[in-house]
Amino acid sequence: MSTSSPVIVALDYPQMTPALELAASLDPGACRLKVGKELFTAAGPVLVERLQSMGFEVFLDLKFHDIPNTVAGALRSAASLGVWMANIHVSGGRRMLEASVEALSGVSAPPLLIGVTVLTSMDTQDFRELGFGNALPEQVLRLAALAKDCGLGGVVCSAQEASILNEQLGSDFALVTPGIRPAGAAQDDQRRVLTPAEAMAAGSSYLVVGRPITRAEDPAAALHAINESLQLSL
CATH number for the domain that contains residue 133: 3.20.20.70
pLDDT digits over 20-57, tens only?
999 999 999 999 999 999 999 999 999 999 999 999 99
155 located within any domain: yes
Predicted local confidence at residue 99, as pLDDT: 98
140 located within any domain: yes
Binding residue per annotation — 132? no
Q: Which residues are catalytic?
A: 63
pLDDT digits over 163-220, tens only?
999 999 998 999 999 878 786 555 444 444 678 988 899 899 999 999 999 999 999 9
Binding residue per annotation — 120? yes
174 DSSP β-pair partners: 154
Predicted local confidence at residue 83, as pLDDT: 98
Binding residue per annotation — 27? no
69 located within any domain: yes
164 located within any domain: yes
b/e code 142-151 from CB counts within 10 Å (16+ = b): ebbbbbbebe
pLDDT digits over 97-151, tens only?
999 999 999 899 999 999 999 887 787 888 889 888 788 888 899 999 999 999 9
Predicted local confidence at residue 106, as pLDDT: 86
2 located within any domain: no
41 located within any domain: yes
Query: Rounded to whole angstroms, what are the CA distances from 140 to 14, 175, 184, 189?
Result: 30, 12, 27, 20
Domain count, the chain: 1
Inform me whether the pLDDT recorded for 8 exceeds 60. Answer: yes
1 located within any domain: no
Mean pLDDT, range 70-84, rounded to an integer: 97
Inform me whether the pLDDT recorded for 96 exceeds 70. Answer: yes
Domain hosting 105: range is 7-229
Predicted local confidence at residue 114, as pLDDT: 98
Predicted local confidence at residue 190, as pLDDT: 45
DSSP assignment letter at 90: G
159, 209 contact by CB (below 8 A): no
Per the prediction, the chain carries an average pLDDT of 91
Binding residue per annotation — 65? yes
